[in-house]
Amino acid sequence: MHFWKMTAGGNDFILFDNRLSPPLNLSPSDINSLCRRRLSVGADGIILMEKSEQANIKMHYFNADGSSAPLCGNGVRCLARLAFEKKIARGKITIETGAGIIIAEHRGENISLKMLSPRKLELNVTLQLGDKVIEGHFIDVGAPFFLIPYQDIENCPVKELGPSLCRHSFFQSYGGSNVAFFKVMDRGSIRLRVYERGVEEETLSCGTGCLAVSLVAAALGLTEAPIICHTQGGTSIKVNFLYDGEKFSNPSIEGDAKLIYEGKIHPQALKA
Tell me the per-residue pLDDT of 153-196, one tens digit each, with 9 for 90 and over: 999 999 999 999 999 999 999 999 999 999 999 999 999 999 99
pLDDT score at 272: 60
Q: Which of 35, 72, 78, 156 is catalytic?
A: 72
Of the candidates 78, 6, 92, the one whose C-alpha atom is nearest the C-alpha of residue 42 is 6
Active site residue 206: yes
pLDDT tens readout for residues 46-67: 999 999 999 999 999 999 999 9
Query: Which ranges in the chain are annotated with CATH 3.10.310.10?
Result: 2-116+258-270, 120-246
Per DSSP, the three-state class of 143 is: coil
pLDDT score at 216: 98
Of the candidates 65, 74, 76, the one whose C-alpha atom is nearest the C-alpha of residue 31 is 65
Q: Which of 78, 166, 206, 229 is catalytic?
A: 206
Q: What are phi and psi of 230, to 5 degrees?
A: -95, 125
Q: With respect to CATH, is domain 120-246 assigned 3.10.310.10?
A: yes
CATH number of 2-116+258-270: 3.10.310.10
Average pLDDT, the chain: 95
pLDDT score at 270: 84
Answer yes or no: is pLDDT of 133 > 90.
yes
- Whole-prediction pTM: 0.94
Q: What number of other Cβ atoms are within 10 A of residue 253's Cβ?
A: 29
